[in-house]
Amino acid sequence: MGASGCGKSTLLRMVAGFETPTAGTLTCQGEEITGPGPDRGMVFQDYGLFPWLTVAENVGWGPRERRLSKQDIRERVERLVSLVGLSAFADQFPGQLSGGMQQRVAIARVLANDPAVLLMDEPFGALDALTRELMQRELHRIWRELSPAVLFVTHSVEEALVLADRVVVLSGGPAHGVPGYVRSVLDVGLEHPRDVTEPRFNALKRELLALVVAGAPEQEACA
């Protein structure tokens, strides 16, 4: 989390291997990141699906590119399409699906490569409130079943606390004329599922909001 321009998405793209750090190094599981790799899968806010491919074909795209066997691809696709609750829509095209369903396809497509790290850049930001809440539950269910590490960028304090074990608050950044840096790390320490009306949740919400606002430029904090 952090104010706009502090470098959240840039950091995520560097972990994905889409951008290169100007100094220092990034590592994943002890190996230096020098470019994109199947050990890191990116889920974007705009879904990024291939509109000319069906749900099943989108999910199977990565394994096909890696030249896995047809049987392996078929089994992966069936398992993951079922995992995200879209078995009945496997032969549909993205344009025939709702926003929430398209995001499920995007998540399944990334998971088809068995990534160690799932990178998510405000993946639910374009969804309505109800669908967003449902997708948060879906993501947590998928995480329980497959256990990838998840690095998740969000502007929502409540979403961060609903999902995260640990929230990293960034501050500064080129947009604000100072280097970006980690301002604070908040360990959430609440059991799942989390009740947003519970007193401890709301105490953490106030604490996290204060950290984010303190790290924002003055004009943004007052907006």
Question: Which pLDDT score is estimated for 206?
Answer: 96
The pLDDT value recorded for residue 177 is: 72
Secondary structure percentages of the chain, helix, strand, coil, to 5:
45, 15, 40
> Cα-flanking dihedrals φ and ψ of residue 85, to 5°?
75, 30
pLDDT attached to residue 172:
80
Q: What is the pLDDT of residue 26?
A: 92
| CATH number 3.40.50.720 given to 37-155 | no
- pLDDT at 220 (0 to 100): 47
DSSP designation for 191: P
Q: What is the pLDDT of residues 51-68, one digit of tens each?
A: 999 999 999 999 999 889
Q: Is 14 exposed, middle or buried, given 0-12, 13-18 or 19+ CB atoms closer than 10 A?
A: middle
Peptide bond between residue 193 and the one before it cis (omega within 30 degrees of 0): yes
Q: Which residues of the chain are modeled with pLDDT < 50? A: 219-223
Q: Where are the domains of the chain?
A: 37-155
Predicted pLDDT at 218: 55
User: What pTM value is reported for the model?
Assistant: 0.86
